[in-house]
């Protein structure tokens, strides 16, 4: 009897245990598959075809000395002198003051003094042509060029273009080092560039940086702007010098810096070699740059103007004035017209319009599309040659003033 009860008790215990185990496994199946925790590491492992795959990042050159050795001999220092007449202070005309100071102040008469300045330039042809900035040689009576090899020569001005701030000089020397012209059109933001020049007159100096931006416009530096921006240190005296790529090729002419102190703050501007080459070719051929001209004053359209004129987009330029009997006037363009395209190319802003008009050959007809009174129009205008513009005062330490708005 006791044995029967014991068997019954064991059977019930086993049954209850199996039932409990079944319930637990059913509710928590992961208990049957528990494993030791695994730690994952990102280890470098060679792929089967790793030898055929190029590295993701290629190291840059250890030194840019080869590029500098190629380009530096063609970069020159430019020293200018001009005789400046200064008017004496009107107080010195006062007889009472002259009684005390005598003629120490020159008796109120104008006096002359010699003013010197310095800059840089680049030899671009075996014939001795040198590219530099107009503001480097503007008004100079004497121009002296010092070469990297120690030779010096007097330079004559072949021609200038104040609207791009470029000038072409020429020297008469044999066996001149010549820089190789590169392509600024292929420059990308982040490309390495080197600036070579004569900052502060300390002698030829090389600084390195990258291309910070391309196609910079509306800076108020020149009338025609298409600048390369770089953080390579550019200081007073660098103007007219070379901006080169790591192959030693010329990609720009250093022109200006943006600075609040007069020193480099990592914002420098250079004229692309493509623009400089075209200007130089015209100066050598014609003595000046030939550009198209319509005789209009134009301005960019902001959202408020677009709304007031009933146009959907702020792209285009507004004609703010038309010169009487000028090319635009004769073609029928009126004040208040909005120009949206020239030669069927969209015009987004003043820079686009100015470039399109300037590119047209004088005497040729161009198509102008626009909006007048909310309705589209198109007409043809015969382009004239752009008159010579008055030169603007320039400094070497940053953008100032503004471009002439007569197109």
Whole-number Cα distances in Å, 153 to 142, 231, 251, 367: 11, 32, 26, 49
| C-alpha to C-alpha distance for 272 and 202, rounded to whole angstroms | 26
Strands 249-257 and 180-181: parallel
Q: Which of 117, 135, 138, 231 is catalytic?
A: 135
337 is a catalytic site residue:
no
Which residues, other chains included, contact 167 with Cβ-Cβ below 8 Å and sequence gap of 6+? Answer: 131, 132, 133, 134, 136, 137, 157, 159, 160, 161
Q: Which of 117, 120, 212, 239 is catalytic?
A: 239
Whole-number Cα distances in Å, 87 to 50, 91, 112, 388: 78, 11, 9, 29
Which residues, other chains included, contact 223 with Cβ-Cβ below 8 Å and sequence gap of 6+? Answer: 163, 164, 354, 389, 403, 404
| C-alpha to C-alpha distance for 297 and 342, rounded to whole angstroms | 16
SS3 17: helix
239 is a catalytic site residue:
yes
Per the listing, tokens 């086993």 go with 14
Is the C-alpha dihedral spanning 295, 299, 300, 305 positive or negative? Answer: negative
Closest CA to 342 of 323, 319, 312, 373: 319
Q: Which two tokens stand for residue 359?
A: 């590119």
Q: Which of 138, 165, 231, 369 is catalytic?
A: 165
165 is a catalytic site residue:
yes
Per the listing, tokens 């990102």 go with 42
Q: What are the residue numbers of the active site?
A: 135, 165, 239
């Amino acid at each position: 009897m006791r044995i029967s009860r014991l068997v019954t008790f064991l059977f019930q215990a086993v049954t209850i245990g199996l039932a409990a185990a079944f319930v637990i496994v059913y509710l928590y199946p992961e208990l049957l598959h528990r494993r030791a925790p695994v730690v994952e590491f990102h280890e470098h492992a060679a792929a089967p075809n790793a030898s055929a795959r190029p590295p993701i990042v290629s190291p840059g050159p250890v030194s840019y000395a080869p590029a500098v050795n190629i380009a530096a001999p063609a970069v020159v220092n430019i020293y200018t002198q001009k005789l400046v007449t200064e008017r004496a202070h009107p107080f010195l005309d006062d007889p009472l003051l002259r009684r005390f100071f005598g003629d120490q102040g020159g008796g109120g008469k104008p006096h002359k003094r010699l003013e010197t300045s310095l800059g840089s330039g680049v030899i671009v042809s075996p014939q001795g042509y040198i590219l530099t900035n107009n503001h480097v040689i503007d008004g100079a009576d004497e121009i002296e060029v010092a070469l990297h090899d120690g030779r010096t020569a007097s330079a004559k001005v072949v021609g200038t273009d104040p609207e791009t701030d470029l000038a072409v000089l020429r020297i008469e020397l044999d066996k001149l080092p010549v820089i190789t012209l590169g392509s600024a059109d292929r420059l990308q933001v982040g490309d390495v560039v080197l600036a070579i020049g004569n900052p502060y007159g300390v002698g030829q100096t090389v600084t390195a940086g990258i291309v910070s931006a391309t196609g910079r416009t509306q800076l108020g530096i020149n009338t025609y702007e298409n600048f390369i921006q770089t953080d390579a240190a550019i200081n007073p005296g660098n103007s007219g010098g070379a901006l080169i790529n790591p192959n030693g090729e010329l990609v720009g002419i250093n022109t200006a810096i943006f600075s609040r102190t007069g020193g480099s703050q990592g914002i420098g501007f250079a004229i692309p070699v493509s623009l400089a080459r075209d200007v130089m070719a015209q100066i050598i051929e014609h003595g000046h740059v030939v550009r198209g001209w319509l005789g209009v004053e134009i301005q960019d359209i902001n959202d408020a103007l677009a709304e007031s004129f009933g146009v959907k987009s702020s792209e285009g330029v507004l004609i703010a004035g038309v010169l009487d009997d000028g090319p635009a006037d004769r073609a029928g363009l009126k004040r208040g017209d909005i120009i949206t395209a020239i030669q069927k190319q969209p015009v987004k802003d003043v820079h686009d319009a100015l470039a399109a008009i300037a590119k047209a050959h004088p005497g040729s007809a161009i198509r102008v599309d626009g909006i007048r009174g909310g309705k589209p129009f198109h007409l043809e205008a015969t382009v004239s040659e752009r008159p010579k513009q008055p030169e603007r005062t320039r400094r070497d330490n940053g953008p100032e003033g503004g471009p002439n708005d007569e197109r």
